[in-house]
Structure formats: C-alpha cells, structure tokens
C-alpha cells in the first residue's frame, strides 16, 4: 500500500495543459487523497481550478491493489467532461507509472515523477496506437498543504 499511501492528504497544484496546436493553458487546482473501503483502496478528488471558481475538471480516481498482478487497478472518472480511464499502476524505479486506455480508445500513460514527501510532478500522456509516440497532454506540479 506504500506505493500510493504517501499521497494521503491535501495538495495544491499548478497545471499546464498542452494543446494539439502547440499552445499551453495554465491553471491551478487542488487534490485530496484518502483511504477508502476499510483501508483497501485509495480514492482521490482532483479539482481544477481551485475552489470557489467554477470547475472545468472535477474527477476522482480509485486505486486498488491486486496481489495477483502485483499492481494497482486505477479507475478514473470525470463526469463533468465525460472522461473515463482504466489503467494498471506500478513502480518503475523512483516513479509510479500507470498505463491503460481511456473512453476514447486512446492509450494513456500517467506518471508520478520527482516524488518527495511534499511534492510531485504528474505527467499525463496519450497516443492512438503502440506505434505512435507518447504526447504530453497535461502536467500537474503538486505541493502538499496538509497530511
């Protein structure tokens, strides 16, 4: 459970969205992680921008460890944007890497890098097929605000 357990608490983030035309959009946001299902899973809430501004993204992730695959089932839902993904998460060196597919059929890779007790860099990437290079779509630079 330690792979994601260090995330428990509240975080603020700066977000960069990479658009297809090469431009970027910046915003801020907040993330809240907690234990659920009697400590068998971790759930988080991602909100962008920070409240009280109207949200453009309001989603949740459920992370459940599966000893049979030695990995985590990751289920993401953003009902505001009708964005859904399923992934498998595992440690890769000092990073956490989640790979799967979203509801549009795109391959997705979400990486937690630069991990410390009080910060992390989250990178979201997608591609239409295995033969296409990964394209960065989102980056979140998060800082802990409470445990």
What is the 3-state composition of the chain as percent helix, strand, coil, each rounded to the nearest 5? 5, 65, 30
Per-residue pLDDT tens digits for 76-99:
999 988 999 999 999 999 999 999
pLDDT reading at 147 higher than 90: no
- pTM of the predicted model as reported, rounded to 2 decimal places: 0.91
pLDDT at residue 38 in the model: 93
Average pLDDT over residues 89-115: 96
C-alpha atoms less than 13 angstroms from C-alpha of 6 in its C-beta half-sphere: 12
Average pLDDT over residues 27-39: 95
pLDDT reading at 9 higher than 90: yes
Per-residue pLDDT tens digits for 46-65:
999 888 777 788 899 999 99
The answer to whether 18 and 129 have CB atoms below 8 angstroms apart is no
Residue 44 — very low, low, confident or very high, per pLDDT cuts 50/70/90?
very high
| Per-domain residue ranges of the chain | 2-146
Distances (CA, A) of 89 to 40, 53, 104: 15, 31, 20
In a 3-state reduction of DSSP, which class is residue 5?
helix
pLDDT reading at 1 higher than 80: no
CATH number of the 2-146 domain? 2.40.128.20
């Amino acid at each position: 459970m330690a792979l994601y357990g260090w995330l428990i608490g509240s975080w603020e983030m700066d977000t960069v969205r990479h658009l297809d035309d090469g431009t970027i959009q910046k915003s801020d946001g907040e993330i809240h992680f907690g234990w659920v299902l009697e400590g068998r899973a971790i759930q988080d809430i991602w909100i962008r921008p920070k409240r009280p501004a109207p949200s453009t993204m309001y989603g949740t992730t459920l992370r459940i460890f599966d000893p049979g695959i030695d990995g985590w089932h990751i289920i993401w839902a953003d009902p505001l944007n009708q964005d859904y993904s399923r992934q498998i998460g595992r440690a890769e060196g000092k990073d956490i890497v989640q790979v799967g597919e979203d509801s549009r059929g795109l391959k997705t890779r979400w990486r937690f890098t630069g991990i410390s007790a009080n910060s992390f860099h989250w990178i979201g990437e997608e591609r239409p097929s295995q033969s296409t290079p990964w394209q960065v779509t989102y980056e979140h630079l998060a800082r802990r605000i409470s445990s």
